[in-house]
C-alpha cells in the first residue's frame, strides 16, 4: 500500500471518528433541546388558547371553538386539540394525522422524539369550563434535524475531498525525491546510472537521496574502473603499440571466429607484405622503418571503409592482414588502390623509394583450419614475389560452386528465396549439467548441385546487395510455420545489420514475437556487437519490444575492442563470446582482464555464453573460469531442424 493510501486511510478514519463524535453529541443536545422546545411551545399554546376560550361570551359555542381550533391547526404542527368538560365529556375536538415526509425511517429510530403535550384549565369566571389538551407532532423537528444532518455531511464530504487533494499535492511534492530514487533503482536495473542533482529540503529524504547517489556513484565507478581495466587489457593483449591496430593474436582470434559454424560475416583473408623489410631497417634504422609502418597503417585505415576491409591488424613486423566480406573484385580493388596510394607517398621520401609490397588472398571455408588459411596465403605471397613488386595472388576454394559476379549472386539469391531452398539448422547451447539453454538457428541454402551453402558464404554478398532483410523475413516465416521445431527449448535468432537500419521487416518481426508468445515458444533475439556499436538506439528499442513479449535479447560475438559502455544502452540478457578469447584472457598471468569482464557482466546481470568450443580442454578451462553455458561443435554440431 502506498504512503498516500495509508495516509488517506488514516485521514478517512480520523474524519469518520470526528464525524461520529460531532453527530452524536450534536444530535443528543439537539434532540433534548427540540424536545424541550416542543413541550414549551405546546404548553404555551395550550395556555394561550385556553385564555382565548375563557374570554368567549359563550365558552361552549361550537362555531366559535371551531374557528379558534382551525386557527391553531392551520399552522400544521398540531395533531390533536380537545376541550374536555369536568365530567369527561368532550366539548369540542379537532384531530389530524400527520406524516413525516423526506425523513428516512432509520433517522426516526436514531433520534427518538416524543409528541409534546400541553394542558390547561379553562375557566369561565370562577366556574371551571373544562380542560384543554393540545398535542404537537415532532415531524417538523425531525425534518429540521435531518436537514441539519445532511448539511453537516455535505460539508464534511467537501472538507474530506479537499483534505485528500491537499494531502495528495503535499505528498507528491514532498515525496518526489523518492519517486526519483525509484527511477534511479529502475535505471540501475536497466544498466544505467543516474544521480539526482536536486536534493530535497526534508532532512530524512535528503539523507536517503544522498545515500542513493553515493551507491550509484560507486556502482558507476566500479563499472568504469573495470571497463578501463578491460580496455587496458585489450590494448596489451590485442593491440600493436606502434600502429594501434590489432596484432597477430587479435587477427587469429577473429579468423577462428570467421571460420566457425556460428559465423556469417567474412569471405576471405588478405596479407600485405613489405619486401625485404629487415634489410631496410638494418640500413636506415628503426626510425625510418617505424615511419614506414605508420604510413602503411594510416593508408589501410583511410581506405578500409569504402572497400570492405575489416579487422585490420599488423600481423608480423613486415606484414599487415585483414578479413573481408567482399567479393574477389572488391578486395583486389582495395589492395590495388592501396598500392597506388602507397607508391605516390613513397616517391616523396627518397629513403623509401625502393620499398615494395606484395599481397596474398585466401578464401575462408566454414569449419576449416586456420593453419590451412595461413599456409595458403604464404604460398600466394611466395608466388607473388616471383611475379614482381606490387603483385597480388589469390587462392580460391574449390569446395563450393558459388556465383562469380554481383549479377550472378543476385539472380542466385532471388532463386533461392523464391524456390524455398533455404533451410534452418540448430546448435544447442548447454549448461554445465548438460541441460539445453537455447538452440541457435543458422540459415543454410542448397545450390543447383545440391551442395549445402553456409550463411558465411552468401550472407556477406546478400548484405552487399541489400537482400539480407529478405533473408531475415524468410527466417521469421520458417520459425513461425515449422511445426517440427522443438519449441520447449528457446530458439536463438541472429538479426542482420539491415534489420536495424530499415523498417521494412518490423511488422513481420512483431508478428513473430506475438505468435511465439501465444504458442509458448521463447525466443532469444541476437545482434552482433558491431551492430550494437553502429545502431545502439535501435538495438535498445528492439530489446524493449522483445522483452515486452517475454523473450530475451542478447549480444552475439562480443568484441572487447569495442566500448563496453554500449551494454548500458539497453537491458541485455546474455552475451556470447568466443571461447578462444576467454582462453586468451585467462593466460599470460593477466586474469585481471577476465575478472573485469565478469564484474561488468555481473553488475549488469548479463549471462556469459562461450561459443566455438572445440575441445575437452577448452571445456575444462571454461568451467574453471566459472563459465556455465557453452556452445560449439565439440558439444554438438548444428543439426537440421
Q: Report the range of poorest mean pLDDT among 131-140, 160-169, 356-365, 442-451.
A: 131-140
Same domain, 486 and 559: yes
The predicted structure's pLDDT at residue 576: 94
The string of DSSP letters for 396-463 reads: ---SS----SHHHHHHHHHHHHHTT-EEEEEEEEEETTS-EEEEEEEEEEE-TT-PEEEHHHHHHHHH
Same domain, 186 and 293: no
**Residue 7 forms part of a structural domain:** yes
Using the 3D structure, point to which of 171, 191, 216 is the last residue of a domain: 171
pLDDT grade, residue 112 (50/70/90)? low
Distances from the Cα of 622 to the Cαs of 6, 227, 260, in angstroms?
52, 21, 18
Distance, CA of 413 to CA of 465 (rounded, Å): 10
Give the pLDDT confidence score for residue 523 in this predicted structure.
95
CB 543 within 8 A of CB 567: no
Domain boundary residue, one of 349, 371, 395: 395
Q: What is the CATH number of the domain that holds 12?
A: 3.30.450
Q: Average pLDDT of 414-442? A: 92
- Count of domains for the chain: 4
Asked whether residue 343 is assigned to any structural domain, the reply reads yes
Q: Give 30 or 597, the one with higher predicted confidence.
A: 597
Residue with more model confidence, 224 or 573: 573
Are 267 and 158 members of one domain?
no
Does residue 543 register a pLDDT over 80? yes
Is the confidence at residue 76, as pLDDT, over 80? no
Whether residues 221 and 269 share a domain: the answer is: no
pLDDT of residue 166: 86
Q: What is the pLDDT of residue 131?
A: 84
Q: Alpha-carbon distance 597 to 170, whole Å? A: 46
Residue 400 resides in a domain: no
Quick one: pLDDT at residue 475? 93
The pLDDT score that the predictor gives to residue 108 is: 64
CA 63, CA 284: separation in Å to the nearest integer?
A: 151
Residue 401 lies in a domain: no
> What is the span of the domain harbouring residue 52?
3-171
Determine the average pLDDT of the residues in 194-208: 80
Cell of 616: 575437452
Output the average pLDDT for the chain: 81
pLDDT at 359: 93
- pLDDT of 265 over the 60 cut: no
* 280 in the same domain as 298: yes
What is the pLDDT averaged over residues 468-490? 90
Q: Within a domain: residue 243?
A: no
- Higher pLDDT, residue 614 or 491: 491
Would residue 412 count as lying in a domain?
yes
Model pLDDT, residue 399? 61
Residue 564 has pLDDT above 50, yes or no: yes
Considering 113-122, 208-217, 305-314, the range whose residues carry the highest mean pLDDT is 208-217
pLDDT in tens, 2-57: 766 777 788 788 878 877 787 777 767 766 666 677 678 777 777 877 777 777 76
Q: Which pLDDT belongs to residue 508? A: 92
For residues 169, 173, 174 and 179, what is the CA-based torsion angle, rounded to 10 degrees? 110
Q: pTM above the 0.85 mark?
A: no
CATH number at residue 414: 3.20.20.450
- Dihedral of CA 172/177/180/182: which sign? negative
Calpha distance 576→613 (Å, rounded): 12
On whether both 512 and 572 belong to a single domain, the answer is yes
Domain boundary among 373, 395, 417: 395
Asked if residue 634 and residue 591 are part of one domain, the reply reads yes
Q: Indicate whether 31 and 144 sit together in one domain.
A: yes
pLDDT classification of 264: cutoffs 50, 70, 90: very low
Specify whether 188 is located in the same domain as 78.
Answer: no
Shared domain for 389 and 537, answered yes or no, is: no
Q: What CATH number corresponds to the domain at position 257?
A: 3.30.70.270
Does residue 424 share a domain with residue 314?
Answer: no
- Shared domain for 289 and 337, answered yes or no, is yes
CA distance 363 to 381: 14
Give the range with max mean pLDDT: 53-57, 81-85, 213-217. 213-217
And the C-alpha cell for 639?
543439426
pLDDT at 376 over 70: yes
What average pLDDT does range 467-496 have in this prediction?
Answer: 91
| pLDDT band at residue 474 using 50, 70 and 90 as cut-offs | very high
- The mean per-residue pLDDT over the stretch 582-586 comes to 77
CA pair distance 363, 395, nearest whole angstrom? 7
**Does the pLDDT value for residue 169 go beyond 80?**
yes
Specify whether the CB–CB gap between 640 and 423 falls below 8 A: yes
Amino acid at each position: 500500500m502506498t504512503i498516500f493510501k495509508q495516509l488517506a486511510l488514516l485521514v478517512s478514519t480520523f474524519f469518520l471518528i470526528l464525524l461520529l463524535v460531532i453527530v452524536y453529541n450534536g444530535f443528543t443536545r439537539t434532540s433534548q433541546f427540540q424536545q424541550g422546545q416542543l413541550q414549551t411551545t405546546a404548553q404555551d399554546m395550550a395556555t394561550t388558547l385556553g385564555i382565548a376560550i375563557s374570554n368567549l361570551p359563550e365558552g361552549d359555542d361550537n362555531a366559535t371553538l371551531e374557528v379558534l381550533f382551525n386557527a391553531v391547526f392551520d399552522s400544521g404542527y398540531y395533531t390533536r386539540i380537545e376541550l374536555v368538560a369536568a365530567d369527561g365529556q368532550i366539548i369540542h375536538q379537532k384531530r389530524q394525522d400527520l406524516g413525516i415526509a423526506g425523513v428516512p425511517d432509520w433517522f426516526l429510530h436514531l433520534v427518538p422524539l416524543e409528541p409534546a403535550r400541553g394542558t390547561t384549565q379553562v375557566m369561565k369566571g370562577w366556574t371551571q369550563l373544562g380542560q384543554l389538551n393540545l398535542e404537537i407532532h415532532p415531524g417538523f423537528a425531525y425534518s429540521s434535524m435531518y436537514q441539519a444532518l445532511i448539511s453537516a455531511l455535505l460539508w464534511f464530504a467537501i472538507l474530506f475531498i479537499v483534505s485528500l487533494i491537499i494531502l495528495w499535492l503535499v505528498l507528491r511534492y514532498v515525496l518526489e525525491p523518492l519517486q526519483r530514487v525509484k527511477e534511479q533503482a529502475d535505471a540501475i536495473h536497466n544498466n544505467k546510472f543516474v544521480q539526482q542533482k536536486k536534493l530535497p529540503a526534508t532532512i530524512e529524504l535528503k539523507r536517503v537521496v544522498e545515500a542513493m547517489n553515493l551507491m550509484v556513484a560507486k556502482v558507476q565507478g566500479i563499472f568504469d574502473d573495470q571497463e578501463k581495466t578491460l580496455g587496458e587489457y585489450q590494448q596489451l593483449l590485442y593491440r600493436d603499440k606502434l600502429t594501434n591496430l590489432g596484432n597477430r593474436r587479435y587477427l587469429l582470434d577473429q579468423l577462428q571466429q570467421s571460420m566457425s559454424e556460428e559465423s556469417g560475416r567474412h569471405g576471405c583473408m588478405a596479407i600485405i607484405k613489405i619486401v625485404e623489410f629487415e634489410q631496410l631497417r638494418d640500413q636506415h634504422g628503426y626510425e625510418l622503418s617505424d615511419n614506414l609502418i605508420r604510413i602503411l597503417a594510416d593508408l589501410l585505415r583511410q581506405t578500409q571503409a569504402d572497400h570492405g576491409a575489416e579487422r585490420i591488424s599488423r600481423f608480423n613486423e613486415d606484414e599487415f592482414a585483414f578479413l573481408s566480406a567482399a567479393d574477389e573484385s572488391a578486395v583486389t580493388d582495395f589492395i590495388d588502390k592501396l598500392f597506388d596510394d602507397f607508391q605516390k607517398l613513397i616517391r616523396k621520401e627518397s629513403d623509401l623509394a625502393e620499398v615494395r609490397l606484395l599481397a596474398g588472398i585466401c578464401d575462408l571455408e566454414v569449419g576449416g583450419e586456420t593453419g590451412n588459411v595461413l599456409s595458403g596465403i604464404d604460398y600466394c605471397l611466395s608466388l607473388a614475389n616471383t611475379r614482381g613488386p606490387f603483385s597480388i595472388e589469390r587462392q580460391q576454394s574449390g569446395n563450393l560452386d558459388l556465383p562469380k559476379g554481383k549479377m550472378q549472386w543476385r539472380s542466385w539469391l532471388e532463386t533461392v528465396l523464391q524456390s524455398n531452398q533455404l533451410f534452418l539448422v540448430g546448435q544447442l547451447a548447454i549448461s554445465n549439467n548438460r541441460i539445453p539453454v537455447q538452440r541457435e538457428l543458422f540459415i543454410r541454402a542448397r545450390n543447383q548441385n545440391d551442395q549445402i551453402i553456409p550463411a558465411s558464404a552468401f550472407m556477406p554478398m546478400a548484405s552487399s546487395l541489400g537482400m539480407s532483410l529478405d533473408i531475415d523475413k524468410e527466417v521469421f516465416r520458417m520459425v513461425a510455420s515449422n511445426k517440427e521445431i522443438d519449441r520447449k527449448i528457446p530458439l536463438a535468432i541472429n538479426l542482420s545489420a539491415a534489420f536495424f537500419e530499415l523498417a521494412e521487416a518490423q511488422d513481420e518481426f512483431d508478428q513473430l514475437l506475438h505468435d511465439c508468445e501465444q504458442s509458448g515458444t521463447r525466443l532469444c533475439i541476437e545482434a552482433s556487437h558491431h551492430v550494437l556499436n553502429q545502431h545502439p538506439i535501435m538495438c535498445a528499442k528492439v530489446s524493449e519490444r522483445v522483452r515486452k513479449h517475454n523473450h530475451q535479447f542478447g549480444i552475439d560475438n562480443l568484441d572487447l575492442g569495442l566500448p563496453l559502455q554500449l551494454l548500458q544502452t539497453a537491458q541485455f540478457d546474455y552475451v556470447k563470446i568466443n571461447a578462444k578469447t576467454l582462453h586468451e584472457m585467462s593466460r599470460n598471468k593477466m586474469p585481471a582482464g577476465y575478472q573485469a569482464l565478469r564484474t561488468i557482466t555481473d553488475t549488469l546481470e548479463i549471462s556469459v555464453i562461450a561459443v566455438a568450443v572445440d575441445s575437452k580442454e577448452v571445456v575444462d578451462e571454461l568451467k574453471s573460469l566459472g563459465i556455465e553455458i557453452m556452445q560449439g561443435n565439440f558439444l554438438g554440431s548444428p543439426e537440421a531442424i
